[in-house]
Structure 1
């Protein structure tokens, strides 16, 4: 089927390519007697004039494959037609089309290398006779080259600008997707590794004095690593075709808090309001904010205790994660920057920073996405 489609497309292209020369030949031959009837100073048209009209009109058929030779051949034929003394007419249209094709398909400098000789050939009849000397004889022939050349070059510039804009838009999309995936992997892997590190420290500290508790810590490490791998598979499944596992959301915040508790951090979870379904992007963003905030508690807070408050409202959901700290120095890292980017991208509000004795992360995520 694909081969048949390619054959049909190729056939359609050949028909379109042949339509222009066929139309030019028809127009040239039909108008040639009319031009001869109303021309009193030029040589009467004959079989040679018709032959030149057909030959020049056929040149645009080669404009896609051999644009420069087609232009020179068309200009030579039209110049011979005018030098002989035949009247001006549609024979100049093929020359204009070939000039346009050269300017459209090549950069301006390379196109000018071919357009200038074509212009000189076309103006040869001014020196030999036919149009008469002086500026009056130069203007018609020059216009048939300069005008299509300008149009072709302008069209090329427009197409190149569109291609650059399209490439830039695609690059921005790729960069945004790369950043999104980096943030997802950071949140998933960072949370799992933070829990694993804390449990590993506990196991190392208690392996000699309390082997049973060390064994519990190792079991927690195994569970945390398995959960992190499962969530990483879910994240990676979002960029691969086929069936996709359900993404994380606020419905899984209870499980998240339980995992953090097993890592040694006491977590108080408070949910207010009537839960309403959130759009998938908002639901995932809310979960990631809670996850990253608790991960920071595990990694950085000297006080292993945190409070998570979720307030469901008709127009959105409010999140507030606090933990006790005495460190007032703060600089946004990749995690907080990622949380802020997630929330603000959805049209919400985000804030994170220390206050006397506590560190607070707040986020408001609307239900109606921008």
Structure 2
């Protein structure tokens, strides 16, 4: 299958593909400093090698052009790793074919093939090294008779083993670096995914908080607004009481919404006011009474862990709100039982239901179930045989952390 070229007539994707974990920034980065250091080292080292190998051809302008070309190609090793791997091999093959001295010229091949392996182009790196080794075998054992320098002798096969060992070592180091970088990339992706998951969970928590606050308060406001409108002309004093209740409920709702939004604007900061708990149950009963619902409490709220305390308060708040909105009964019973390892809450009303969501399919009951599940507890909600409705919550007092949070 042929590779598709890049739009605009550029090189194919396999030719220019950079490391898969680096993104666009890794492919467009220009390694000026490292390339400059390699160029200086290769030129200076080859000049020193020329003096120490008098039997080889001395460096001339052609040799220096090959050394410079092989080094400068490394500038593109992040953008075109395949092309750089084969380009450096070509420069070294021409250099060796000219009979010039052995030296740090092989460093350019090592870096070019190393970059290709790290970029995920292993086949290109191994192929380039194979081409270099095959060319070196031909030059050192056959073509040397017709290539400079004159009266050259073929290399012993032991030298070829050393060259092959060097190439395998370069490839092995590159494979190790590629494996390590891919592992780092996976770890970084997992951390990003975990952070995103925590952010999603926090947004869901905030959404539940806002729903619980607004659903309860707006239900009270809606009931009292209807009372006020009905009694505005016939009983202005009772209408004034309804408006007072609306003002108090809206003020409390605004305060709790502001608290939730403050935690969104300043992540990590502690909220200005403590989270609500069962210590505010009398206030909740009073708000329900202002909406025309009489609440009977059976049991004493115990001291609870903060998370369980907040969940218990929100469950009772949502259950009583549903009675106000979806039940024809004006009386509700709340039963609180504190066991050794769990808190049981039961809210009953005598019905009958007055809305389509009275059967437990609304967002409020779904939010209660999510709260309970987050603590390892359960919520059961449904109609009673006698025509009323019941919400039963079991909240464990020792919260077991989720598997993802360990």
TM-score with structure 1 length normalisation?
0.72
Which secondary structure does the structure 1 equivalent of 2:271 belong to? coil
Unaligned runs of 5+ in 1: 1-13, 37-42
Summarize deviations over 1:226-266 as a string: whole Å, max 9, x none.
11111212222333434522311111122111111111110
- Give the corresponding residue for 2:366: 337
Contact 2:225 2:243 in 1 (8 A): yes
Equivalents in 1 of 2:75, 2:197: separation in Å? Answer: 39
Alpha-carbon distance change, 143 to 83 in structure 1, aligned in 2, over 3 angstroms: farther
Q: What is the Cα deviation at residue 70 of structure 1?
A: 6.0
- Give the corresponding residue for 1:7: none
- Give the corresponding residue for 1:254: 282
The structure 2 residue matched to 1:361, chosen from 376, 391, 398, is 391
Q: What is the Cα deviation at residue 198 of structure 1?
A: 0.4
The structure 2 residue matched to 1:263, chosen from 285, 291, 299, is 291
- Give the corresponding residue for 2:240: 215
Contact 1:184 1:235 in 2 (8 A): yes
Alpha-carbon distance change, 66 to 354 in structure 1, aligned in 2, over 3 angstroms: closer
The structure 2 residue matched to 1:96, chosen from 110, 117, 133, is 110
Which secondary structure does the structure 2 equivalent of 1:368 belong to? coil
Equivalents in 1 of 2:56, 2:395: separation in Å? Answer: 81
Which secondary structure does the structure 2 equivalent of 1:202 belong to? helix
Q: What is the Cα deviation at residue 341 of structure 1?
A: 0.7
Equivalents in 2 of 1:353, 1:173: separation in Å? Answer: 32
- Give the corresponding residue for 2:319: 293
The structure 1 residue matched to 2:272, chosen from 224, 238, 245, is 245
Alpha-carbon distance change, 122 to 221 in structure 1, aligned in 2, over 3 angstroms: same
Contact 1:265 1:306 in 2 (8 A): yes
Contact 1:103 1:156 in 2 (8 A): no
Which secondary structure does the structure 2 equivalent of 1:352 belong to? strand
RMSD: 4.7
Summarize deviations over 1:120-176 as a string: whole Å, max 9, x none.
87367258522559xx99x94986887677667666655554454444333322322
- Give the corresponding residue for 2:13: none
Equivalents in 2 of 1:47, 1:85: separation in Å? Answer: 9
Which aligned pairs between 1:101-120 and structure 2 lie closer than 5 A? 101-105=115-119, 108=121, 118=128
Q: What is the Cα deviation at residue 211 of structure 1?
A: 1.7
Which aligned pairs between 1:318-333 and structure 2 lie closer than 5 A? 318-327=344-353, 330-333=359-362
2:261 is the counterpart of 1:236: yes
TM-score with structure 2 length normalisation?
0.66
Contact 1:95 1:144 in 2 (8 A): no
How many residue pairs align between the two structures?
Answer: 342
The structure 2 residue matched to 1:284, chosen from 310, 315, 321, is 310
Equivalents in 2 of 1:323, 1:197: separation in Å? Answer: 20
Q: What is the Cα deviation at residue 220 of structure 1?
A: 0.8
Q: What is the Cα deviation at residue 183 of structure 1?
A: 1.1
Alpha-carbon distance change, 66 to 132 in structure 1, aligned in 2, over 3 angstroms: farther
Summarize deviations over 1:66-121 as a string: whole Å, max 9, x none.
7748646643453245435689898646523332323434x65xx97x75995587
Alpha-carbon distance change, 341 to 329 in structure 1, aligned in 2, over 3 angstroms: closer
Alpha-carbon distance change, 91 to 271 in structure 1, aligned in 2, over 3 angstroms: farther
Contact 1:266 1:304 in 2 (8 A): yes
Farther-moved stretch of structure 1 (147-156 vs 158-167) = 147-156
The structure 2 residue matched to 1:184, chosen from 206, 209, 232, is 209
Which secondary structure does the structure 1 equivalent of 2:390 belong to? strand
Q: What is the Cα deviation at residue 349 of structure 1?
A: 2.1
Which aligned pairs between 1:129-168 and structure 2 lie closer than 5 A? 129-130=139-140, 140=164, 158=183, 161-168=186-193
Alpha-carbon distance change, 47 to 259 in structure 1, aligned in 2, over 3 angstroms: farther
Contact 1:204 1:214 in 2 (8 A): yes
Q: What is the Cα deviation at residue 204 of structure 1?
A: 1.4
The structure 1 residue matched to 2:330, chosen from 280, 304, 308, is 304
Equivalents in 2 of 1:115, 1:267: separation in Å? Answer: 78
Equivalents in 2 of 1:117, 1:151: separation in Å? Answer: 18
Contact 1:265 1:304 in 2 (8 A): yes
